[in-house]
Amino acid sequence: MDVQNFDRVLVLDFGAQYAQLIARRVRECKVYSEIVPYATPAADIAEKEPKGLIFSGGPRSVYEEGAPRPDPGIFDLGIPILGICYGHQLIARELGGEVRSTDFREYGRVEMQAEEGSLLLKELPLTQNVWMSHGDSVVHAPGGFTETAHTAGSPVAVMENRERSIYGVQFHPEVAHTPLGMDILKNFLYHACDCLPAWTMVSIIEQMVEEIQAQAGNGKIICGLSGGVDSAVAAVLVHKAVGDQLTCVFVDHGLLRKGEAEQVEDTFQRHFKINLVHVKAQERFLERLAGVTDPERKRKIIGTEFIRVFEEVAKDLEDAQFLVQGTLYPDIIESGTKDAARIKSHHNVGGLPDDLRFQLVEPLRALFKDEVRAVGEELGLPEEIVWRQPFPGPGLAVRIIGEVTEERLEILREADDVVMQEIKKAGLYRDLWQSFAVLPAIRSVGVMGDERTYAYPIILRAVVSEDAMTADWARIPYDVLERISNRVINEIRGVNRVALDISSKPPATIEWE
Catalytic residues: 85, 172, 174
Phi and psi at residue 87, in whole multiples of 5°? -60, -35
Dihedral in degrees, nearest 10, Cα atoms 238, 240, 245, 250: 50
Cα(159)–Cα(147) distance, integer angstroms = 5
Up-side HSE of residue 38: CA atoms within 13 Å toward CB? 18
Other C-beta atoms lying within 10 Å of the C-beta of residue 509: 14
Cα 363 to Cα 327: distance, rounded to the nearest angstrom: 8
Q: How far apart are CA 139 and CA 100, in angstroms?
A: 7
CA angle 332, 379, 267 (to 5 degrees): 90
Phi-psi region of 243 (alpha: psi -120 to 50; beta: other; left: phi over 0): left
Strands 52-55 and 81-84, by their bridges, are parallel
| Residues 6 or more apart in contact with residue 374 via CB below 8 angstroms | 201
Q: What's the rounded Cα separation, in Å, for the pair 335 and 349? A: 7
Residues with Cβ within 8 Å of residue 444, at least 6 apart in sequence: 454, 455, 457, 496, 497
Q: Which of 111, 103, 93, 28 has the alpha carbon at shortest distance from 55?
A: 93
Give yes or no for a contact between 56 and 84, defined as CB atoms under 8 angstroms apart. yes
Three-state DSSP at 132 gives: strand
Question: How far apart are alpha carbons 34 and 12 in whole angstroms?
Answer: 9
What percentage of the chain's residues is helix, strand, coil (to nearest 5)?
Answer: 35, 25, 40
DSSP secondary-structure letter at 3? -
Cβ-based burial of 128 (10 A; exposed 0-12, middle 13-18, buried ≥19): buried
